[in-house]
Structure 1
Amino acid sequence: MLVLAGGQAWGDEREDLEVVRQTTMNLISALVKKGVLTQEVAEAMVKQAEDAARKKVAATPPAQDNVVRVPYIPETVKREIRQQIEQEVVAQAKAERWGDVNAVPEWVDRLQWTGDLRLRYQANRFPAGNAPEYYFSQGYGQNITDTTQDNQAFRMRARLGLNAKITPAISAGFQLTTGNTNNPVSTTQTLGQYENKYSLVLDRAFLKAHSDETLPWLSVSAGRIPNPWFSTDLVWNDNLNFEGAALHVDPNAQTSRQLRPFVTLGAFPLQSIERSLTVSASNKWLFGAQTGVEWIKDTNTRAKIGLAYYDYRNIHGIPNTATAPNAFDQTAPAFRQKGNTLFDISAPGVTTPLWALAADYQLLNLTAMADLNVYDPVHIILTGDYVKNIGFNRSEILARTGQDVQPQTTGYMARVAVGMPTMLLKNDWQVFLAYRHLEADAVLDAFTDSDFHLGGTNNKGFILGGQYGLDKNTWLSARWLSSNQISGLPLSIDVFQLDLNAKF
């Protein structure tokens, strides 16, 4: 009886082992059919399990003759074995990112999308007493097409950005936006194009190197990069991106120290010119350096100050000659708004003027900001900006242009805002008041704010506005910009903007 019982027990054991084996094989086969596992991975798992089982059997000592084995596997144990096998397979699959049917591929976690949409109503008002636009454009070369006729427009701006983490130390960034390739400071699209479709342009495309482990204090960006400077729109328009490379040093970026010094260096080609026997103009460059310190006392108080030097190379115009009538045509700026002092560089006898910059531009710029959260959650934010063109040389301009140009080389701005720093939640709000004064040759008019005085330099006046959160990341904003000319022909411009903003 004992022998028969042992034989029956051995038969039950083989049956149970076969059930476990088939359960495992069926589970793996089901994972292959659902696409969770590939056939190659499944075969490798089975082979690995078989090899491990053979090794374990080979290492088990043979049973002694006087020992009678009566194996028995209860149903509860069978279920536990099945569950354990399933849990181990799924756990391994999750760890390797192929076993979880609801998981997304690993590379998706390394992508971050950003975007925003702005709808704008804008009204431009020209008070009485302005000089006709003809005198600005013909006599001084200024890009002014209207000084007397009020107008209004509906506009929109759409931006979509992608940041991709390629490795722990390398990332890439892209941004598409509305706008056109002929205006570096505007990304708006005016509605009313006879229902025609809009264009999208590549506004950013860059690589960034930054390692939190090896060099956490250093980052380098190259390509078409976001504005690397601590600045305001007195010098750099909010929509402006830079072509070139920038290096940023922040020794205390990941520390709790209150004082955090920083340094930024940048080199940016402005205009690439292919020289030849008939083209004598040189490539135009912008080099910049900024140093400063950020003070973070606590979560309620912080301040930042930065001193920058921006050096434009080969930016001034060079007159053409009768023997080389087009040699220096490309010394004229590829883009400009209005305000800078210009002169005609066309060759003698040419009746169509070609306007170029009379002065050189080497800017010394001091920017400061203080954020005081003294009435939580209401902040008081104070901003100041001062710029001086130390590259303006009156005698050189006289020799170059034949004009004795008075120096107008200073700009400054002061702004106070009360409310929430950003519009994130429903019922967030902010009101602000600013005054700015920007003389004709204080900065390059091509890259400064394009809304105040409808763009450019040689303007002064006030900005009054407010923002209110309608919902999460959705807000309404309004601004009134009132400006007058500082020198020259009379030109007053009032601009009203009402924006509906949404971001994600």
Structure 2
Amino acid sequence: MNIKAKNWMIPLIVTTLFGLQSEVVAAGERESLEEVRATTMSLIELLVQEGVLSKEKAQILLQQAQQAKLKAKNEADALAADNTQLPEKAVGQPKSIRVQYIPEHVKNEMRAEIEQDVMKKLNYKTEERLGLPEWIDRIEWTGALRLRYQQDMFSDTNAIPGTLNNEVQNMVVNNSTEDRQRQRVRALFGANIHINEWLNGGIRFTTGMLQTPVTPNQTEGFSQGKFVFGLDRAFLEAKPYDWLTLTGGRFANPFFTGNQTFGTDLIWDPDLAFDGFSAQANPNINKSWKLFSTVGAFPIEEVESSNTNKARDKWLYAAQGGIEWTSSNESKVKLGVAYYDFKNVEGERNPVNDSLKYAGTVALWRQKGNQTFSINDGTTNGNLCGSNGLCGLASQFQLINFTGEVDLAVFDPVHVILHGAYVQNIGFDQNEISRRTGNIYKKENEGYELSMMVGQPIIKKLHDWQVFGGYRRLEADAMLDGFTDSNFRLGGTDAKGFYVGAQYGVGKNAWLSSRYVSADEISGLPFSIDTFFVDFNGRF
């Protein structure tokens, strides 16, 4: 506590707690007054121990208290003598008590200083007693749990797995006709770390299969033993200016793709982590208008090139820009355009009798849908593609992506959100593909999505709710199939269909959600899947 606070506390104690010395009290109140004086004595002793008051000043206060006690006793005795001469109604009537007036701003200032001083000493004593380091206060723990029931329903007219695992689309599926029911779990646990005024960091662990970048779900079953728990986030985030954010490591998708709470992401899986570096600039034009932009470089797969391995590192270079408008009632309109350039992801054909030279061009992180070809010459497993051969992607991938969202808050807290997205792979070139693969492929390089949500944008508390629905169409080579939504036709491209769902809050940070997805193939062999999800979610 500083000197200013001390100088105010001394007269406050004297005038407020001992201000009764100039007043006359009734005999029935003497006991209560004695209790107040005893408490005050203890308070003075405590202030001396804490160093707030010196012993000299404390002695002055105690002397004043003793004088006040003596004066009050004399006045009380005089009052008892005078009461015999007062009218009957006047006897026993209490006198008013005067309390010195303290200005409100002085009270607030004193309160803040006292609170700061007390908390400082309390924290010091806590650290001294428990041995807690200072940095513990700069960590925010986060996490989420999700229990899921999932039912996959396959059409009876689907092609059998053997024909689906062909050279053109190489789906590599084990089942296409038998329905499947699963109980699944997802667990997320992480920490946001405040390092200093301009630098933050974060780590997060998640369940899921290690060989896929898109899904954190773990199918339950005794026979599996322990669940897999891996590092899914590890990043540093610098903010040299309020409008600029620089991020490096492994982190969440930095691009604007829509409201993720009801699954409006045409080309990216919502659980996909981005490795690499990104820079985001979000300057405000005025109160209503704001610009946003993101650029980044993201390694997909590092390849050890050599004289015998001519494959090169796979990268994604990306940029997005857009504008956001916010109305006086918090309604928003947000528009963005992005360019995604995937480098060295297309396959290269191996020379005759050399199955290793371009083996590294094969995409190991595929789901299904992209058009493929066998990179081996006809004399070396040329007719095999899939689990017994090597399939490369036929097309290059350079995407133009438009995303727009309208958030109507006129019925707040209920919102109406309209979402739309379009993507085109301008890297699809039939002549270039024919030269490299020797095959001719149909041009299927576009996709779009339209959706709507009504309700609270984020489920936070009891009785929050939302309902949503949408339609999606994503052609075979509109996007790399390895990074798309793993719930829509169980992942991949060459899919079209609709989804509907609802979410409801059952308590603070706890909610139920349900979704039904119906998706069919766009071209190629028949392969339709309907999927039903019921989730129980909790977060902290």
* TM-score class normalised by the smaller sequence: 0.7 to 0.9
Are residues 195 and 399 of structure 1, via their aligned partners in 2, closer, same or farther at CA, if it must alter by over 3 Å?
closer
Provide the rounded CA distance (Å) in 2 between the counterparts of 1:137 and 1:111.
Answer: 48
TM-score, normalised via structure 1 length: 0.81
Alignment of 1:131-142 (within 5 A): 131-140=159-168, 141-142=170-171
- Cα deviation for residue 180 of structure 1 reads 2.5
Provide the rounded CA distance (Å) in 1 between the counterparts of 2:60 and 2:118.
Answer: 27
- Choose which of 136, 148, 152 in structure 2 pairs with 1:120: 148
| CA deviation map 1:173-219 (0-9, x unaligned) | 111000132110000000014262112100000000014xxx21111
| Residues 368 and 383, structure 1, Cα contact 8 Å, conserved in 2 | yes
User: For structure 1, which segment, 299-308 or 309-318, has the greater mean C-alpha deviation from structure 2 after superposition?
Assistant: 299-308
- Name the structure 1 match of 2:539: 503
Provide the rounded CA distance (Å) in 2 between the counterparts of 1:377 and 1:451.
Answer: 29
| Residues 353 and 380, structure 2, Cα contact 8 Å, conserved in 1 | no
Alignment of 1:214-233 (within 5 A): 215-231=241-257, 232-233=264-265
Amino acid in the other structure paired with 2:376: S
Are residues 76 and 436 of structure 1, via their aligned partners in 2, closer, same or farther at CA, if it must alter by over 3 Å?
same
| Residues 484 and 492, structure 2, Cα contact 8 Å, conserved in 1 | yes
| Residues 94 and 100, structure 1, Cα contact 8 Å, conserved in 2 | no
Tell me the SS of whatever aligns to 1:194. Answer: helix
1:432 pairs with 2:461: no
Residue identity (%): 41
- Higher helix fraction: Structure 1 or Structure 2? 2
User: For structure 1, which segment, 319-328 or 216-225, has the greater mean C-alpha deviation from structure 2 after superposition?
Assistant: 319-328
Alignment of 1:48-447 (within 5 A): 73=59, 76=62, 91=117, 94=120, 97-99=123-125, 106-140=134-168, 141-194=170-223, 196-211=225-240, 215-231=241-257, 232-252=264-284, 257-322=287-352, 324-351=354-381, 352-447=388-483
Amino acid in the other structure paired with 1:280: K
Total equivalences in the alignment: 436
Tell me the SS of whatever aligns to 1:120. Answer: strand
Provide the rounded CA distance (Å) in 2 between the counterparts of 1:488 and 1:298.
Answer: 50
Tell me the SS of whatever aligns to 2:457. Answer: coil
| Residues 131 and 147, structure 1, Cα contact 8 Å, conserved in 2 | yes
Provide the rounded CA distance (Å) in 2 between the counterparts of 1:97 and 1:503.
Answer: 29
Provide the rounded CA distance (Å) in 2 between the counterparts of 1:402 and 1:125.
Answer: 37
- Cα deviation for residue 375 of structure 1 reads 2.1
- Name the structure 2 match of 1:10: none
TM-score, normalised via structure 2 length: 0.75
Tell me the SS of whatever aligns to 1:502. Answer: strand
| Residues 167 and 373, structure 2, Cα contact 8 Å, conserved in 1 | no
Contiguous gaps of at least 5 residues in structure 1: 1-22, 29-44, 54-70, 81-86
| Residues 167 and 391, structure 2, Cα contact 8 Å, conserved in 1 | no
| CA deviation map 1:39-91 (0-9, x unaligned) | xxxxxx9xxx9xx99xxxxxxxxxxxxxxxxx9946715999xxxxxx99x93
Provide the rounded CA distance (Å) in 2 between the counterparts of 1:118 and 1:362.
Answer: 35
Are residues 135 and 290 of structure 1, via their aligned partners in 2, closer, same or farther at CA, if it must alter by over 3 Å?
same
- Name the structure 1 match of 2:74: none
Tell me the SS of whatever aligns to 2:454. Answer: strand
- Name the structure 1 match of 2:92: none
| CA deviation map 1:375-426 (0-9, x unaligned) | 2321111111100000000001011111111110000000011111111111
- Cα deviation for residue 350 of structure 1 reads 2.5
- Cα deviation for residue 346 of structure 1 reads 2.0
Are residues 91 and 100 of structure 1, via their aligned partners in 2, closer, same or farther at CA, if it must alter by over 3 Å?
farther
Provide the rounded CA distance (Å) in 2 between the counterparts of 1:151 and 1:449.
Answer: 19
Amino acid in the other structure paired with 1:343: F
- Name the structure 2 match of 1:32: none
Tell me the SS of whatever aligns to 1:235. Answer: coil
User: For structure 1, which segment, 98-107 or 428-437, has the greater mean C-alpha deviation from structure 2 after superposition?
Assistant: 98-107
Provide the rounded CA distance (Å) in 2 between the counterparts of 1:256 and 1:105.
Answer: 42
Tell me the SS of whatever aligns to 2:143. Answer: strand
Provide the rounded CA distance (Å) in 2 between the counterparts of 1:332 and 1:304.
Answer: 37
Provide the rounded CA distance (Å) in 2 between the counterparts of 1:378 and 1:201.
Answer: 37
Tell me the SS of whatever aligns to 1:310. Answer: strand
| Residues 163 and 172, structure 1, Cα contact 8 Å, conserved in 2 | yes
| CA deviation map 1:141-171 (0-9, x unaligned) | 2122211111110001000121000010011
Task: Provide the aligned C-alpha RMSD in A.
Answer: 3.0
| Residues 161 and 172, structure 2, Cα contact 8 Å, conserved in 1 | no
Provide the rounded CA distance (Å) in 2 between the counterparts of 1:267 and 1:442.
Answer: 21
- Name the structure 2 match of 1:36: none
Are residues 387 and 275 of structure 1, via their aligned partners in 2, closer, same or farther at CA, if it must alter by over 3 Å?
same
Are residues 324 and 374 of structure 1, via their aligned partners in 2, closer, same or farther at CA, if it must alter by over 3 Å?
same
Contiguous gaps of at least 5 residues in structure 2: 1-44, 67-112, 258-263, 382-387
Tell me the SS of whatever aligns to 2:197. Answer: coil
| Residues 404 and 420, structure 2, Cα contact 8 Å, conserved in 1 | yes
- Name the structure 2 match of 1:474: 510
